[in-house]
Amino acid sequence: MGHTPFGYRIENGIAIIDEPAAAKLRQLYKNYLSGMSLSKAAAEAGIPTYHGTAKRLMGTVHYLGDSFYPAIIDKETYQKAQEERKRRATKLGRNNKQTQMRTIQIPTRFHMDEVTALHDNPMKQAEYLYSLIESESQ
């Protein structure tokens, strides 16, 4: 397990609700659903964070409860928040963005110049040898 989501703490290997933080999360959802922006909803709930982090908090499915984490947010509130986020994104033209992927040419052919020096220090020798490697044009 990577990290403990905001709103929980681990005691004796069991996830329990951190009630002061959970109350802030519930207020975040309430504020957002009342029409506030993500960052304002978080600030008003007492969670000092940025827009993107507030968005990630509201998208955390652990808050619905699972085999390890107890529920903090009911399914209806969670679903309404996701629908509202999508509605706002669509209204602002932020859905269905086509991102252009850059094509990166990764060199796969290399050659190494002739070794003309030997160093007693293995780090210096490795550095020297790596400096002799060059990619070939494809």
CA distance 23 to 54: 15
> Each residue of 59-113: pLDDT tens digit?
999 999 999 999 999 999 999 999 999 999 888 877 765 566 677 777 788 888 8
Q: How many domains does the chain have?
A: 1
Report the percent of the chain where pLDDT is more than 90: 69
CA–centroid distance for 68 within its chain: 21
> Each residue of 23-54: pLDDT tens digit?
999 999 999 999 999 999 999 999 999 998 99
67: domain range? 8-91
Residue 117 lies in a domain: no
Instruction: Please determine, for residue 137, whether its predicted confidence score (pLDDT) is greater than 80.
Output: no
Q: What is the DSSP secondary structure assignment for residue 50, as one 8-state letter? A: -
Residue 62 lies in a domain: yes
